[in-house]
Structure 1
Amino acid sequence: MKDSNSKKEGSVSKSMTVEDRYSQWKSLVPVLYDWLANHNLVWPSQSCRWGSLVDRATYKNRHRLYLSEQTDGTVPNTLVIANCEIVKPRVAAAEHISQFNEEARSPFVKKHKTIVHPGEVNRIREFPLDMNIIATHTDSPHVLIWNVETQPNRNAVLGAPTSVPDLVLTGHKDNAEFALAMCSTEPFVLSGGRDKHVVLWSIHDHIATLATEAGPDAKQGSNVGGSGEKTAESPSVGPRGIYRGHKDTVEDVQFCPSSAQEFCSVGDDSCLILWDARVGTTPAVKVEKAHDGDVHCVDWNTHDINLILTGSADNSVRMFDRRKLSGHRVGSPIYKFEGHDAPVLCVQWCPAKSSVFGSGAEDGIVNIWDHDKIGKTSADPTVSQASPGLFFRHAGHRDKVVDFHWNAADPWTIVSVSDDCASTGGGGTLQIWRMMDLIYRPEEEVMAELDSFKTHILGCGTENLNK
């Protein structure tokens, strides 16, 4: 609960309107950010993911970005491959950062290729071993695999035939819309759906079946249309394993960073389940009540594989230590992070620092946390000290943040996207941003740097007086 001093500390009051909060945030942009690009979207995007680093230049780098476009049916739903120019740290001028138009499209974000997607794109995941390979979830039981380099560029006009996926993964008995992950060590794909199942595939299994499918009894390709109607023929592959343990829709899945055989899942049954494919298809560890509501998202720490994050409809983020779960089949979080006013939709650990993570929610906020900072104050004036561990609030969105993603190739740079249909009737907002490094660097290091600037400034003043 916020105390009476929270406003004095600069926190955003719950009584503030969205526009008031946005105006306050906008006035602080030159102080809080090293880089910010705002891109107005015609259609809402439900997922955004970084791809590979495409090109390096003196002052900025070009990065690949994957986006979805969820249309109203007047034009097809699409998967967009974009190129983004990201200015390097400490290059952008403060006045440039502050002078953005929230109704305009950023010149730093340009479409590279469009794929006409069969059905809405609900989730995108890139393959870490080859970031030109991505998986998508749509309103169907299938997972679609795409090679974005070999896929043709399409014109998304009404009546245009859908693009044909490079591979279709079958195995779900009901729609699988959101829970999707790709392994960082093996060509494995993980999915969850309304059938309450977690399904595991290997893309390499497709290669093994090619010879059989080329024969006279070749298996027909899978129907990949979100509507259930036959739209295209694609090669398909069945699952390595189907894992049963949830009692409701599986909302998110994640691989253990060090093992393709270990993974976790969360769902609308409020459970967090850890699985080990080496010992069977039943739960290895099951936390029956991980949250006080549906669990929407999960992420596994790449630096410390004992730490797992979950985000929920109960507005909180919780951190679990799997060492304290094993063997008992029950468990409780080692910490609860409370700084959102609405359901948490996405969580992700920072690739640059093991103790840092982000969370996005329906309150339109992306919160950045550091569990090592619990008990310490934040340099961000919009952060309430009533939320331990919270040290930065990105309040640039005016509606629910449906997805965000840290850029592994450019540490501390984040892309976030909001679905703005409910608030403005418009499409969505895409933002690429990097907070000022003085906010997240060690305090003693920052103070030493500021002191050196102070000495320099005072020295310049003395020189001018002596002239």
Structure 2
Amino acid sequence: MMKDSPKKEEGVSNPNSMSVEDRYTQWKSLVPVLYDWLANHNLVWPSQSCRWGSVIDHATYKNRHRLYLSEQTDGTVPNTLVIATCEVVKPRVAAAEHIAQFNEEARSPFVKKHKTILHPGEVNRIREFALNTNIVATHTDSPHVLIWDVESQPNRNAVLGAPVSRPDLVLTGHKDNAEFALAMCSTEPFVLSGGRDKLVVLWSIHDHIATLATEAGANVKQDSNSEKATESSSIGPRGIYRGHKDTVEDVQFCPSSAQEFCSVGDDSCLILWDVRVGSTPAVKVEKAHDGDLHCVDWSSHDINFILTGSADNTVHMFDRRKLNSRGVGSPVYKFEGHDAAVLCVQWCPDKSSVFGSCAEDGILNIWDTDKVGKTSDSADPTVSNTSPGLFFRHAGHRDKVVDFHWNASDPWTIVSVSDDCASTGGGGTLQIWRMLDLIYRPEEEVMAELDTLKSHIIGCDIDT
């Protein structure tokens, strides 16, 4: 990556001191030089969760992906789980002028609804099942986790008075509402949840996966006006884990083991669990942050590293080799680059040292742990030298960024969603974007490419 010259910094205001609109205006002016692809999609209703599904097909210049998102309505129409189709233009295909020309109030032609499921209650979390791409889990404003076969579910119209869709399976076991903490295992058909009852609950849906499509197909033939939500099959938990003293806000499986997982909560604790040693914490970090913990992610590249995000505006990185059962452990890194509570953290699937974090300040930051302790050399002029490890700031949202997800099938492509009701009076904003590869590629590669381009341009000038 190229180090910013002093000239490049001139005229660039400190993004932390700017108004939301000024910051957004500055960001929009930088879109042609910072992004390789950007699709801006205005939402009628706020969305609390967005997740990539499978790749539908590949074309010469773009790929089509499945995309899951929620619609949080005001009650005049049902809440919905939306299955969308998203076209992502391949790297170095879109012209800079094209991605810069979008209307904030319009819907993107690259995002289209494929199917709508009328959800019984709010959709607070969506998690996809790696072993069967048609199966997703949702958290709602109740104690239950809902399992859906999105392929066999009928497409519904969200109109007032319409009966809700019938989930294929209901997971019971919480004693109070479980709204946000939700995870699906990548290696086994396990589902993990946390809630206000301070519990972490584990289910196995192994015996039900094979029959979900058959049961859903039979139910489509039933009377569409029946109360389908009460007819769903349900199963109880495989295990219940006690150790938190307040609401459990997020959970995550260890990428390499279905027997290990972690959880964070409003008690400021990070807890590591191992079902092989019982239902009590294997390791408990009593004060992982100076505030409530909202999110956690476990690295699939190196299972020793765990990220946590907090209401104290920071992201912490823990090395589980440096934690012990006495609750002793300090983060190996603290990342400070947000001005409000961090709502989501996630490791990048394409580079082991990179992760993202989004927050109530409307910013989605991209960090590189390898850059901690080094002078900032970001190509993004809005990045400050005062936040070690930070090398890119996505400022395309004008209100709190509630969720984002890296695309594991399309390198460095991210979907992010913000709740814009408070600032714009609208619903929400969905953005699919990919930063310019000159920003994240190794500096020697970038310099070699620029030298090649320079030689080519000089040669063209001589010829003319």
- Superposed pair shares fold, TM > 0.5: yes
Q: Which residue number in structure 1 is paired with residue 97 of structure 2?
A: 95
Q: State how far apart, in whole Å, the 2-side matches of 1:329 and 1:187 are.
A: 30
Q: State how far apart, in whole Å, the 2-side matches of 1:21 and 1:188 are.
A: 42
Q: Which residue number in structure 1 is paired with residue 427 of structure 2?
A: 427
Q: CA, structure 1 residues 333+9, in 2 after alignment: closer, same or farther (shift >3 Å)?
A: farther
Q: CA, structure 1 residues 60+7, in 2 after alignment: closer, same or farther (shift >3 Å)?
A: closer
1:78 and 2:86 correspond:
no
Mapped contact 1:206–1:237 kept (Cα < 8 A): no
Mapped contact 1:206–1:236 kept (Cα < 8 A): no
* Letter of the 1:403 counterpart: D
Counterpart secondary structure, 1:145: strand
Residue 373 of structure 1: how far off its partner (Å): 1.4
Q: Which residue number in structure 1 is paired with residue 18 of structure 2?
A: 16
Residue 452 of structure 1: how far off its partner (Å): 0.4
Residue 130 of structure 1: how far off its partner (Å): 1.2
Q: Which residue number in structure 1 is paired with residue 400 of structure 2?
A: 400
Q: Which residue number in structure 2 is paired with residue 451 of structure 1?
A: 451
Mapped contact 1:65–1:82 kept (Cα < 8 A): yes
**Deviation digits for residues 52-72 of structure 1 (CA, Å, limit 9, x no counterpart):** 000110100000000000000
Q: Which residue number in structure 2 is paired with residue 411 of structure 1?
A: 411
Mapped contact 1:9–1:385 kept (Cα < 8 A): no
Counterpart secondary structure, 2:277: coil
Residue 232 of structure 1: how far off its partner (Å): 2.6
* Letter of the 1:169 counterpart: L
Counterpart secondary structure, 1:449: helix
Q: Which residue number in structure 1 is paired with residue 218 of structure 2?
A: none
Residue 311 of structure 1: how far off its partner (Å): 0.3
Q: Which runs of 5+ in 2 are unaligned?
A: 1-6, 213-226
Q: State how far apart, in whole Å, the 2-side matches of 1:94 and 1:67 are.
A: 27
Q: Which runs of 5+ in 1 are unaligned?
A: 211-228
Q: Which residue number in structure 1 is paired with residue 315 of structure 2?
A: 317
Mapped contact 1:179–1:251 kept (Cα < 8 A): yes
* Letter of the 2:24 counterpart: Y
**Deviation digits for residues 253-289 of structure 1 (CA, Å, limit 9, x no counterpart):** 0000000010000000000000000110000000000
Residue 7 of structure 1: how far off its partner (Å): 7.1
Q: Which residue number in structure 2 is paired with residue 135 of structure 1?
A: 137
Q: State how far apart, in whole Å, the 1-side matches of 2:342 and 2:441 are.
A: 26
Question: TM-score of the superposition, structure 2-length normalised?
Answer: 0.93
**Deviation digits for residues 338-362 of structure 1 (CA, Å, limit 9, x no counterpart):** 0000000000000001000000000
Mapped contact 1:142–1:172 kept (Cα < 8 A): yes
Q: Which residue number in structure 1 is paired with residue 36 of structure 2?
A: 34
* Letter of the 1:340 counterpart: H
Of the three residues 252, 266, 272, the one matched with 1:254 is 252
Q: Which residue number in structure 1 is paired with residue 3 of structure 2?
A: none
Q: Which residue number in structure 2 is paired with residue 213 of structure 1?
A: none
Counterpart secondary structure, 1:372: helix
Report runs of 4+ in structure 1 exceeding 6 Å deviation: 207-210
Mapped contact 1:10–1:383 kept (Cα < 8 A): no
1:296 and 2:298 correspond:
no
Counterpart secondary structure, 1:131: coil
Q: State how far apart, in whole Å, the 1-side matches of 2:313 and 2:453 are.
A: 41
Counterpart secondary structure, 1:110: strand
Q: Which residue number in structure 2 is paired with residue 223 of structure 1?
A: none
Mapped contact 2:166–2:228 kept (Cα < 8 A): no
Q: State how far apart, in whole Å, the 1-side matches of 2:442 and 2:423 are.
A: 38
Q: CA RMSD in A?
A: 1.9
* Letter of the 2:198 counterpart: K
* Letter of the 1:368 counterpart: I
Q: CA, structure 1 residues 380+208, in 2 after alignment: closer, same or farther (shift >3 Å)?
A: closer
Residue 411 of structure 1: how far off its partner (Å): 1.0
* Letter of the 1:361 counterpart: A
Q: State how far apart, in whole Å, the 1-side matches of 2:403 and 2:9 are.
A: 29
Matched length: 444
Residue 329 of structure 1: how far off its partner (Å): 2.6
Q: Which residue number in structure 1 is paired with residue 171 of structure 2?
A: 169
Question: TM-score of the superposition, structure 1-length normalised?
Answer: 0.92
Q: State how far apart, in whole Å, the 1-side matches of 2:209 and 2:153 are.
A: 19
Q: Which residue number in structure 2 is paired with residue 333 of structure 1?
A: 331
Q: State how far apart, in whole Å, the 1-side matches of 2:211 and 2:235 are.
A: 8
Counterpart secondary structure, 1:29: helix
Counterpart secondary structure, 1:119: coil
**Deviation digits for residues 194-220 of structure 1 (CA, Å, limit 9, x no counterpart):** 00000000002547999xxxxxxxxxx
Q: State how far apart, in whole Å, the 1-side matches of 2:195 and 2:301 are.
A: 28
Q: State how far apart, in whole Å, the 2-side matches of 1:6 and 1:56 are.
A: 38
The 5-angstrom pairing of residues 455-466 of structure 1 reads 455-464=455-464
**Deviation digits for residues 234-263 of structure 1 (CA, Å, limit 9, x no counterpart):** 000110100000000000000000000100
Q: State how far apart, in whole Å, the 2-side matches of 1:348 and 1:132 are.
A: 23
The 5-angstrom pairing of residues 56-455 of structure 1 reads 56-206=58-208, 231-374=229-372, 375-455=375-455
* Letter of the 1:311 counterpart: G
* Letter of the 1:152 counterpart: P
Q: State how far apart, in whole Å, the 2-side matches of 1:14 and 1:392 are.
A: 14
Of the three residues 31, 43, 46, the one matched with 1:44 is 46
Q: State how far apart, in whole Å, the 2-side matches of 1:246 and 1:230 are.
A: 34
Q: State how far apart, in whole Å, the 2-side matches of 1:207 and 1:455 are.
A: 58
Mapped contact 1:371–1:389 kept (Cα < 8 A): yes
Mapped contact 1:360–1:401 kept (Cα < 8 A): yes
Q: State how far apart, in whole Å, the 2-side matches of 1:326 and 1:444 are.
A: 41
Q: State how far apart, in whole Å, the 2-side matches of 1:407 and 1:207 are.
A: 25
Q: CA, structure 1 residues 353+207, in 2 after alignment: closer, same or farther (shift >3 Å)?
A: closer
Residue 11 of structure 1: how far off its partner (Å): 5.8
Q: State how far apart, in whole Å, the 2-side matches of 1:103 and 1:341 are.
A: 26
Residue 12 of structure 1: how far off its partner (Å): 3.1
* Letter of the 1:145 counterpart: I
Q: State how far apart, in whole Å, the 1-side matches of 2:378 and 2:120 are.
A: 45
Identity of aligned residues (%): 85
Q: State how far apart, in whole Å, the 1-side matches of 2:171 and 2:43 are.
A: 30
Q: State how far apart, in whole Å, the 2-side matches of 1:105 and 1:71 are.
A: 18
Counterpart secondary structure, 1:14: helix
Mapped contact 1:11–1:384 kept (Cα < 8 A): no
